[in-house]
Structure 1
Amino acid sequence: MTGLAPDPKGGVAPFSKRVMNLSHFMRQAARRHRDAIGFVWGERSWTWAELDRRIDAMAAALAARGVTKGDRVLVQSKNCHQLFESMFVCFRLGAVWVPTNFRQMPGEVAYLAQASGASAMICHSDFPGHVSAAREAAPGIQRVISIGASDFGEDYDALVETYAGQAAPTASVAYDDPCWFFFTSGTTGRPKAAVLTHGQMAFVATNHLCDLMPGTTHQDASLVVAPLSHGAGIHQLAQVARAAKTVLLTSNRFDIDEAWALVARWRITNMFTVPTIVKMLTEHAAVDEHDHASLRYIIYAGAPMYREDQKHALRKLGKVLVQYFGLGEVTGNITVLPPDQHEIEDGPDIRVGTCGYERTGMQVQIQDENGREMAPGETGEICTCGPAVFAGYYANPEANAKAFRDGWFRTGDVGHLDAEGYLFITGRASDMYISGGSNVYPRETEEKILKHPAVAEVAILGIPDTTWGEVGVAVCVLRPGEGLGERELLTWLADKVARYKLPKRVFFWDALPRSGYGKITKKAVQAELEARGCLPLDRQIQASA
């Protein structure tokens, strides 16, 4: 980042603004709360002092193997304490943490290795094929550390023991020095590396504590129910900033009963999740079998929560829901809807469907296709600016040119602001389809369908049609024990949305495909429709004729 300083001529001269190395969050926690538990996984726990020593030791081990400031370290691992530590190891060295989603295939991870220019890799022992693929795609990877015994690298914990008591110097960093390559999910193409920086992420952690979890202290505890490689990792960074303990599920299989048992055992006060996981947590019988009175904040992001699911969660948990809207490129920091603005009942003063107002220090603007600011109530692209916006995509000038306009980051989401600045998301620009010349944003119809008592989940996407250009296709999941037919649902829906918004076809499945982060993506639904022979629609219509 360029700052300003006096120069001999009485003006100002640029300088690089030094900021706190993010690993100092861990150091602070270890100094103030050294013997308190900082991390829990199953029956094992680590104090803040133990975590800090382990991070020092691994940083020393990597430094001895040539990892220096600016090097990219690819990390392929399930949730575990070593994955958590690796973030701070990289930060301490001034290296760049490049975590993958552990569910990705070897070829996908190989692409991330090549795209990031990784020179080192930390990989869980369960993924030898990922190491081979990554090294083939990125020959620059000279050092591999294995979490657990393996044939492909040095053992992580053995290195921690070997270098116990040693520490690499904490790297000096400037505001714009990269600390994390946050790969986008790639719903519109190959993943891109969003560059997150030390200065930016210090703001993000502060903003999370200010807007999402006010009052968080060392007496709090956070349950991890999502991969630490992405949004949950950002959330845990904020926990470390206040020395709040982190608790992991014992395995990477999402066990809802265990999740609620851990809430009760560790007096969990907050968790980061996504709407589909909130839905699963609150619709499971275990929610009524374990004490969850300690919960203050259940933070959900990644997509707006459907209103009926929101109401159910509020009935089960009380007013503990916190919604935020954001993308990886803005590290989740665009809007917030706090607990006191989540209401069970609809009413004239309730803003149903909003994802909240601007986060502290951030600005939101609705723009048309030419970048002109639109008036309240007008629909356009959601754009944002502020300290939480990333530095840009790594080595991708074309993507950067598309993502930014006049300093505004273009989210690709469509919506509108009301007169008081509350944001309403209509959908992704890419989700919108044009039927008979009219723009259709599927979310409105999805919300209506979810009011049917038999429907648990729904996804609608636009499909090419020879008559109308595009038409909607709905895929529904029914609640257990319920029965519903296509014609019955469309008849029920007919007086609730305009005719051009009605899906042309409805399919019923046992489950909707989800991404590795628990999101239902339209791209995956379309692929599954094609795999099941449901598309093209002309073939379906001919078959039923």
Structure 2
Amino acid sequence: MSAAVHPKGGVAPCSRRAMNLAHWVRQAARRFPGAVGLAWGDRDWTWAEIDARVNAMAAGLAERGVAKGDRVLVQSKNCNQMFESLFACLRLGAVWVPTNFRQTPGEVAYLAQASGASAMICHADFPDHVAAVREAVPDLRFVLAIGPAAFGEDYDAVVAAHAGAVPPMADVEYDDPCWFFFTSGTTGRPKAAVLTHGHMAFVVTNHLCDLMPGTTQADASLVVAPLSHGAGIHQLTQVARGAKTVLLTSDRFDADEAWGLVARHQVTNLFTVPTIVKMLTEHPSVDRHDHSSLRHVIYAGAPMYREDQKHALRKLGKVLVQYFGLGEVTGNITVLPPALHDPEDGGNTKIGTCGFERTGMQVSIQDEHGREVGPDETGEICVCGPAVFAGYYDNPEANAKAFRDGWFRTGDLGHLDAEGFLYITGRASDMYISGGSNVYPREIEEKVLKHPALAEVAILGVPDRTWGEVGVAVCVLRPGETVNERELLTWLEPQVSRYKLPKRVFFWDELPKSAYGKITKKSVRAELEARGQVPLDQPVPAAG
């Protein structure tokens, strides 16, 4: 009788049990029961109180039939209940499905259908969203309301009814889903990226290693973005170390309030996007409040324009941390730490890079056939490693497009230099071809923003009968500044090749942005069309 053969290195196949991520709340409550874990307005919750409320909500959900693998849709502004709902779902082994609260009822109804949600937690401000979800998902079991509402049971009443309950922590394996992270849907409808207990444990460890090393229970983190996406992952990281999370009092961003909270709570880190860093550091209140406690101001979503970066560094010191990553890679592709952010050009400063590979992650720049290209050659940014998501939920076609030979294809274009620093040229969809030459808008945008009169710019390609495509620049002026189209193009002309020079420049009061503060080229294009500013057959007006 021959011995059994185990193909994987002689190791018998077995389940890969993982820590349930909700255990982090229990750990914090055991170690720091009286320490504040969450602050919102004039309310504080200790870790012991958070743990008790999460237990009670988990018991309430279980009583209503929520079990391991069920999806719970959450439509809410940032609040303590939304913060708790993640861990209540995790404790049961259920899947947290947060929406961006600024989405329309129809959009949220689609997310409910796409995720297979069986229950919903909704802020009282969104009755129309509940109605749309119920119509789209007739077998929705129940809705809990955050705040007084006619559409469901009161969330806090459910917590009160189950006070003292300690439901068992669900057993989970590495690949068990914990969070459906919906993509922004810049092309087509949003897709649910499946994040799992095992892979999220790596993501959080990686964040602590690469983004905010040294974080402990003595730290505090300010939330300036919806908890439904990147900010939620950032806060999960704080929970893992027992650090305090601080919420803005309103869903409307207020720079003065943000700086006031930094001073009051001695905030040491925050996560945001370049647009918000720009707003924070250009607001007069940055000089009125003490922000010396800040060690890590982490920005992602897009590289920061160099001029904005320099300004922020002069205001805050060397505390900026950039990372590049998509929802599908949960932010874990590259990092540019504070030591590599410098307010002065020259020397060892690497202008335009988004950093080097995150710990445990690998980047490959590939051509259209999947072949890796050499240093300084542009191609698609592809990535592999433990932070890559498990795939899109119930979407084999999207999964087939997203992966090639095990590499996740980001859809971003860029190159690595000889030292392994990554430079993003732009989205593959942003690139346009003018007269047979590839044009990457990001490169021109960087140069345009050096003009002292400009605050923001978006450049995109539009059809042209002669050249195939040409560039259009949409600019926002700084308060009190003036420059016209001809003057700006004349100023820019010596700095870029002629085929890269935008054919037209338009000035708007503001640029359309996503709910996360990012300029959205898709919305800029739609607005250009709505204003009748394309096609571009008219000549550029003369100066004066």
Q: TM-score, normalised by structure 2?
A: 0.97
- Residue number in structure 1 paired with 2:245: 246
1:135-214 equivalent positions in 2, closer than 5 A: 135-214=134-213
- Partners of 1:503 and 1:135 lie apart in 2 by 48
- Partners of 1:127 and 1:9 lie apart in 2 by 58
What per-residue deviation string (whole Å, max 9, x for no partner) do you get for residues 230-283 of structure 1?
Answer: 000000000000000000010011011000000000000000000000000000
What per-residue deviation string (whole Å, max 9, x for no partner) do you get for residues 13-68 of structure 1?
Answer: 32220000000011100000000000000000000000000000000000000000
- Partners of 2:522 and 2:449 lie apart in 1 by 21
Task: State the one-letter code of the partner of 1:521.
Answer: T
- Partners of 2:262 and 2:110 lie apart in 1 by 38
- Residue number in structure 1 paired with 2:123: 124
- Residue number in structure 2 paired with 1:307: 306
- Residue number in structure 1 paired with 2:82: 83
- Partners of 2:536 and 2:63 lie apart in 1 by 60
- Residue number in structure 1 paired with 2:236: 237
Shift in Å, 1:294: 0.2
Shift in Å, 1:348: 4.2
In structure 2, relative to structure 1, the CA distance for the partners of 1:374 and 1:43 (3 Å cut) is: same
Shift in Å, 1:533: 1.9
Shift in Å, 1:118: 0.3
Residue 185 of structure 2 aligns to a residue whose secondary structure is coil
What per-residue deviation string (whole Å, max 9, x for no partner) do you get for residues 104-137 of structure 1?
Answer: 0000001100000000000001000001111111
Residue 456 of structure 2 aligns to a residue whose secondary structure is strand
Shift in Å, 1:321: 0.1
- Residue number in structure 2 paired with 1:330: 329
Residue 430 of structure 1 aligns to a residue whose secondary structure is coil
Shift in Å, 1:149: 1.3
- Partners of 1:252 and 1:9 lie apart in 2 by 59
- Partners of 2:282 and 2:133 lie apart in 1 by 40
- Partners of 2:229 and 2:48 lie apart in 1 by 25
In structure 2, relative to structure 1, the CA distance for the partners of 1:543 and 1:489 (3 Å cut) is: closer
Task: State the one-letter code of the partner of 1:498.
Answer: S
What per-residue deviation string (whole Å, max 9, x for no partner) do you get for residues 506-538 of structure 1?
Answer: 000111110011100100111111122212223
- Residue number in structure 1 paired with 2:481: 482
1:44-55 equivalent positions in 2, closer than 5 A: 44-55=43-54
- Partners of 1:52 and 1:312 lie apart in 2 by 41
- Residue number in structure 1 paired with 2:410: 411
- The answer to whether the 8 Å contact 2:504/2:540 transfers is no
- Residue number in structure 2 paired with 1:496: 495
Shift in Å, 1:297: 0.2
Shift in Å, 1:211: 0.3
Task: State the one-letter code of the partner of 2:196.
Answer: T
Would you say 1:258 and 2:248 are equivalent positions? Answer: no
- The answer to whether the 8 Å contact 2:223/2:270 transfers is yes
- Residue number in structure 1 paired with 2:352: 353
Residue 204 of structure 1 aligns to a residue whose secondary structure is helix
Identity of aligned residues (%): 78
Task: State the one-letter code of the partner of 2:224.
Answer: V
Residue 15 of structure 1 aligns to a residue whose secondary structure is coil
- The answer to whether the 8 Å contact 1:117/1:140 transfers is no
Shift in Å, 1:349: 2.4
- Partners of 1:362 and 1:314 lie apart in 2 by 28
Would you say 1:273 and 2:272 are equivalent positions? Answer: yes
Task: State the one-letter code of the partner of 2:453.
Answer: A
- Residue number in structure 2 paired with 1:3: none
- Partners of 1:474 and 1:354 lie apart in 2 by 23
Residue 370 of structure 2 aligns to a residue whose secondary structure is coil
Moved segments of 4+, more than 6 Å: none
- Partners of 2:490 and 2:41 lie apart in 1 by 50
Shift in Å, 1:541: 5.2
In structure 2, relative to structure 1, the CA distance for the partners of 1:455 and 1:9 (3 Å cut) is: closer
- Partners of 1:448 and 1:314 lie apart in 2 by 19
- Residue number in structure 2 paired with 1:4: none
Residue 208 of structure 2 aligns to a residue whose secondary structure is helix
1:325-474 equivalent positions in 2, closer than 5 A: 325-474=324-473
Shift in Å, 1:212: 0.2
Task: State the one-letter code of the partner of 2:47.
Answer: W
Task: State the one-letter code of the partner of 2:479.
Answer: P
Task: State the one-letter code of the partner of 2:236.
Answer: L
Task: State the one-letter code of the partner of 1:443.
Answer: R
Residue 14 of structure 1 aligns to a residue whose secondary structure is coil
Shift in Å, 1:9: 5.3
- Residue number in structure 2 paired with 1:508: 507
Task: State the one-letter code of the partner of 1:442.
Answer: P
- Partners of 1:197 and 1:184 lie apart in 2 by 16
- The answer to whether the 8 Å contact 1:118/1:140 transfers is no
- Partners of 1:524 and 1:414 lie apart in 2 by 21
Shift in Å, 1:12: 3.4
Shift in Å, 1:350: 1.5
- The answer to whether the 8 Å contact 1:377/1:417 transfers is yes
- Partners of 2:186 and 2:192 lie apart in 1 by 14
- The answer to whether the 8 Å contact 1:17/1:175 transfers is yes
- Partners of 1:141 and 1:106 lie apart in 2 by 16
- The answer to whether the 8 Å contact 2:485/2:541 transfers is no
Would you say 1:23 and 2:17 are equivalent positions? Answer: no
1:283-302 equivalent positions in 2, closer than 5 A: 283-302=282-301
Residue 207 of structure 2 aligns to a residue whose secondary structure is helix
Specify every segment of 5 or more residues in structure 1 that has no aligned partner in the other structure, as ranges: 1-6
- The answer to whether the 8 Å contact 2:486/2:540 transfers is no
- The answer to whether the 8 Å contact 1:78/1:252 transfers is yes
> CA RMSD for the aligned pairs?
1.2
- Partners of 2:432 and 2:516 lie apart in 1 by 25
Would you say 1:38 and 2:37 are equivalent positions? Answer: yes
Specify every segment of 5 or more residues in structure 2 that has no aligned partner in the other structure, as ranges: none
- Residue number in structure 1 paired with 2:319: 320
- Partners of 2:347 and 2:429 lie apart in 1 by 32
- The answer to whether the 8 Å contact 1:37/1:46 transfers is yes
Residue 443 of structure 2 aligns to a residue whose secondary structure is helix
Residue 537 of structure 1 aligns to a residue whose secondary structure is coil
- Residue number in structure 1 paired with 2:114: 115
Residue 12 of structure 2 aligns to a residue whose secondary structure is strand
What per-residue deviation string (whole Å, max 9, x for no partner) do you get for residues 464-523 of structure 1?
Answer: 111111110000001100011000000000000000001111000111110011100100
Residue 304 of structure 1 aligns to a residue whose secondary structure is coil
Task: State the one-letter code of the partner of 1:25.
Answer: W
Shift in Å, 1:167: 2.5
Task: State the one-letter code of the partner of 1:176.
Answer: D
Residue 340 of structure 1 aligns to a residue whose secondary structure is helix
Would you say 1:216 and 2:215 are equivalent positions? Answer: yes
- Partners of 1:165 and 1:537 lie apart in 2 by 67
Shift in Å, 1:542: 11
What per-residue deviation string (whole Å, max 9, x for no partner) do you get for residues 216-236 of structure 1?
Answer: 000000000000000000000
Alignment coverage as a number of residue pairs? 537
